[in-house]
Amino acid sequence: MTAGTGEWTGLFGRSSLAPTVFDVTPDARPRVREWLAAQHVATAWTRDPHAPAVDAWAVADGGVLAVARWTPAAGAPDADRALPSGLYLVGFKAFRLLTAVLAVPRPVRPLPGEPLFDLDALCRAHRNASATCPDAVEQAELLATCTDRRTLRLVAGALDAAAHARPRVVGPEAVPPSPCPRDRPPAAGTLAG
């Protein structure tokens, strides 16, 4: 874990794996796991004999990854690229949410690359999140694929980009275009028209 500034580094630290990934210290892991057990969030896991076991929880713009200790079999592919065992926090919103709910002193200023958040709105959104929401399930499944460093960097980057994408706003009188061609009127000259 790389050293940072502020008291929050006693529980979380910036990881060298990706800009939006934080290491959870061994002393803080039980607190984070207890909090996760009490949450109703989407979960997923990966079990492969040639990779470390990964449990994932979708939280805010990222989630939490638990990577089990793993001893590669002789000749296992990419054994040197596997994620080290530990607990990782992915996403700036997830980081801010956990520091708030665990009552951990937080960085006063945004971290490099971190946008500003309304912490109250973030907590409300988490309370209203559904574990069965298809987006949350997909997010947890995506996190569970992170058995190696490269995949974690790619997934963390994709989740960060998705969190900062501007949502498409459709006015009340505007009708969004249908993604299903069958919902559109048939074109002249077709068999249906």
List pLDDT tens digits, range 17-48. Answer: 899 999 999 999 999 999 999 998 999 998 88
Domain-wise residue ranges, the chain: 7-165
Spatial distance between the Cα atoms of 35 and 25, rounded to a whole number of angstroms: 15
Range ranked top by mean pLDDT from 103-107, 118-122, 137-141, 158-162: 137-141
pLDDT in the model for residue 185: 53
DSSP bridge pairs for 21: 90
Measured CA distances, 117 to 47, 76, 77, 85, 130 (Å): 35, 42, 40, 30, 21
- Rounded to 5 degrees, φ, ψ at 129 are -70, 150
Give the pLDDT confidence of 72-125 residue by residue, as tens digits. Answer: 766 665 656 788 889 999 999 999 999 888 888 778 888 888 888 888 888 888
Helices (H), 38-186: 92-101, 119-128, 134-144, 149-164
Global pTM? Answer: 0.76
DSSP bridge pairs for 54: 46, 67
Dihedral (Cα; 166, 156, 33, 124), 10-degree rounding: -10
